[in-house]
Amino acid sequence: MAVSKTTTPAVVGADDSSEQVVSLYRAQTKIYARAVTGWFATWRWVLVWATQLLFYGLPWLHWGERQAVLFDLEARRFYIFNLVLYPQDFIFLTALLIISAYSLFLFTAVAGRLWCGFACPQTVYTEIFMWVERHLEGDRPKRMKLDAGPWNLEKIWRKGGKQLIWVSIALWTGFTFVGYFTPIQTLAAEFQSLTVGPWEIFWVLFYGLATYGFAGFMREQVCKYMCPYARFQSVMFDKDTLIISYDAERGEPRGTRGRKTDLKVAGLGSCIDCGLCVQVCPTGIDIREGLQYECIGCAACIDVCDTVMDKMQYPRGLIRYDTQNGLQRHLGRQEVFKRILRPRVLVYTAILGVLCFAFLWGLATRDSFKVNVVRDRGALARLVDNGWIENVYRLQIMNATEQPQRFRIQPSGMEGITVEAPLELVLQPAEARWVPVAARIPPQVAESAGPGSHPVQFVVDRLEIRQPAGGTAAPTAGGAAETVLDTLREKSTFIVPR
């Protein structure tokens, strides 16, 4: 399990009893992560491109007349391609979050903090910002030298240029974010004509500032001190979880040597103690001290160590993805991978599969409209002509498509229950409307049912739209057969007074 190493290991034989007073708050030490290339670094860039093309590109796509993905908070409609979601569809967001959580469980159980190392926005934006930094200020040694050096023209333009690009990326990110809630083309036009609303400006700056601050300055501090997932992922590790491991048995004793040195004769392990694994680490730890909570699983140390091993003509994998069992029991790669399919992983996979299926099935079979019934509370029941008993309800009908829809409302569930006049209505695209409905029963039925509350349903049929022959849509003339496209039943109660 996770072992937290101290920054200064105990020195055997020193005087342990001497005390000193220290500050409980540590100043942030700037980390100059060295650039790295390799298999895992390439994968990280693939994910940077994939996630960011999606994020920056999606708001610009069109679907018919509107933006393909738009969360219209003011109108409370959420458009995702052909879907029109209402706040009542919150269950889908809940399902999505549960699926995300289970995916995190699964990935973490299999190979540690994959999310942190490759796909988390914090990692992705830090990667982009570091790329800018590297191209303007150079790699690690040059950056350190630049920071230590005096402020001269070169330092000013390199640092200033970096800030300028950082701020531009951050503002564009903020702009894109707001573009998911306000149509992005309108927003762009408003920025050009300087007529943007105060809240849009606020959120662009807020999200932009968060991106700039987190990716430019806070970096590993976010993962170490702010992110809750970072901490609780370590409890999902077990001894068969693939984690970034340094093979101490093979590496130690570490030490410098020439390429031709015979390891057996010199009594050395494979680690040449070049320190590159520490230099490339974005959280500034030494992986050779074992698994630490700061490790985000980015695998930069694996990439860099492999290049060193190649140069030394040693086999690769001194630092590699391996499991605790694998290292302790000297398991082969085959055995390590076979152990991935342990019950825990299988259970996670099964649950995740069921959830994904339920989510997609729910979306696919989602009704094209929704109905809510709210009983009037002011009056329970009333007597109308000829002793009929009437109860009043409000039905909310919601059109969850972008075509007009026509509906017919009928009560059912008690003998003879009816409405005074046939209730039909046409809803415009994505419209929601409250419709008062007075359902009534004949006196004989009230007599036999007895006083109290009785279950009833409201049957809402979606009918084919009639092209109005002339002017308004005429209600159906008596017996003309209607094609019912869809039906929803909503429960309520009918109250017969004493």
Partner 1 sequence: MSDFMHSGWALYIAGMTAISLIACLALLLFASRRKVMAKDNTTGHVWDEDLREMNNPLPRWWMYLFVITVVFSAVYLAFYPGMGTFKGTLNWTSMGQFEAEQEKARVAMGPVYARYQTMDAAALARDTQAMGIGQRLFLNNCAGCHGSDGRGSKGFPNLADKDWLGGNTLDTVKKTIVEGRVGMMPSMAAAVGTAEDVKNLANYVLSLSGSAHNNIAAELGKSKFATCAACHGADGKGNALLGAPNLTDNIWLHGWGEKAIVQAVTAGINNVMPPQGRLLTPEQVHVLGAYVLSLSQSATVASQ
CB of residue 433 to partner 1, shortest distance in Å: 8
CB 245 within 8 A of CB 200: no
Q: What is the enclosing helix (H) or strand (E) of 205?
A: helix 198-213
Smaller CB separation from partner 1, 215 or 336: 215
Query: Minimum CB separation from partner 1 for residue 111, in Å?
Result: 27
Q: Is-contact 395 381, C-beta < 8 A? A: no
Q: Does residue 153 interact with partner 1 by CB under 8 A? A: no
Q: Which is nearer to partner 1, 308 or 432 (CB)?
A: 432
Q: Using the rule CB under 8 A, give the single segment among 20-28, 54-62, 274-282, 300-308 that binds partner 1.
A: 20-28
- 23-52 mask for partner 1 (x: CB under 8 A)? xxxxxx------------------------
Cβ atoms of 164 and 202 closer than 8 Å: no
CB closer to partner 1 out of 4 and 444:
4
Distances (CA, A) of 236 to 104, 106, 248, 497: 10, 9, 24, 59
Contacting residue, 124, 409, 417, 460, with partner 1 by CB under 8 A: 409
Strand, helix or coil at 260?
coil
Instruction: Pull the structure tokens for residue 386.
Output: 């000829």
Q: How many CA atoms lie within 13 A of 162 on its CB side?
A: 20
Q: Among residues 1, 3, 16, 228, which is the contact residue for partner 1, using CB under 8 A? A: 16
| 208-247: contacts with partner 1 (CB under 8 A) | 221, 224-225
- Write phi, then psi, for 222 (nearest 5 degrees): -60, -50
Among 151-159, 183-191, 254-262, 372-380, the segment contacting partner 1 (CB under 8 A): 372-380
| Least distance from partner 1 to the Cβ atom of residue 340, Å | 32
Number of residues in contact with partner 1 under rule CB under 8 A: 51
Q: Which stretch binds partner 1 (CB under 8 A): 3-11, 162-170, 240-248, 277-285?
A: 3-11
CB of 474 to partner 1, least distance (A): 10
Helix (H) or strand (E) holding 85: strand 83-85
> Which segments of 35-192 does DSSP mark as H helices, in order?
39-57, 90-111, 114, 121-137, 140-148, 153-178, 184-192
- Smallest distance, Å, CB 301 to partner 1? 22
Q: Contact at 8 Å (CB) between 412 and 390?
A: no
Between CA 375 and CA 412 the distance in angstroms is 15
Between 310 and 431, name the residue whose CB sits nearer to partner 1: 431
**262: contact with partner 1 by CB under 8 A:** no
Using CB under 8 A, which of the segments 36-44, 90-98, 176-184, 382-390 binds partner 1?
Answer: 382-390
Query: Does 390 help bind partner 1 (rule: CB under 8 A)?
Result: yes
Using CB under 8 A as the binding rule, whether residue 469 contacts partner 1 is answered as no
**6 scored as a contact of partner 1 (CB under 8 A):** yes
What b/e sequence results for 180-218 when a residue is b if at least 16 CB atoms lie within 10 Å of its CB, and e otherwise? ebbbbeebeebeeeeebeeebeebbeebbebbbebbbeb
Residue 298 CB, nearest distance to partner 1 (Å)?
20
Taking the least distance from each CB to partner 1, the nearer of 21 and 153 is 21
φ, ψ (nearest 5 deg) of residue 337: -70, -35
Is the Cβ of residue 363 or residue 495 nearer to partner 1 in the bound state? 495
C-alpha Rg value of the chain to the nearest Å: 33
220 vs 322, beta carbon nearer partner 1: 220
- Interface residue with partner 1, options 259, 264, 330, 377 (CB under 8 A): 377
Q: Quick one: which of 50, 75, 358, 379 contacts partner 1 (CB under 8 A)?
A: 379
Buried b (16+ CB within 10 A) or exposed e, 288-326: bebbebbbbbbbbbbbbbbebbeebebeebbbbbbbbbb
Q: Does 313 help bind partner 1 (rule: CB under 8 A)?
A: no
C-beta of 15 vs 262, nearer to partner 1: 15
- Residue 320 CB, nearest approach to partner 1 (Å): 28
By the rule CB under 8 A, 421 interacts with partner 1: yes
**Residues 6 or more apart whose Cβ sits within 8 Å of residue 48:** 124, 127, 128
- Rounded Cα distance between 314 and 379, Å, is 87
State the nearest-atom distance from the C-beta of 477 to partner 1, in Å.
Answer: 14
We find the least distance from the C-beta atom of residue 198 to partner 1, in angstroms, to be 14
> Which candidate, 222, 197, 193, places its Cα nearest to that of 210?
222
Residues that bind partner 1 (CB under 8 A): 4, 6-11, 14-28, 221, 224-225, 376-383, 385, 390, 392-394, 409, 420-425, 434-438, 475
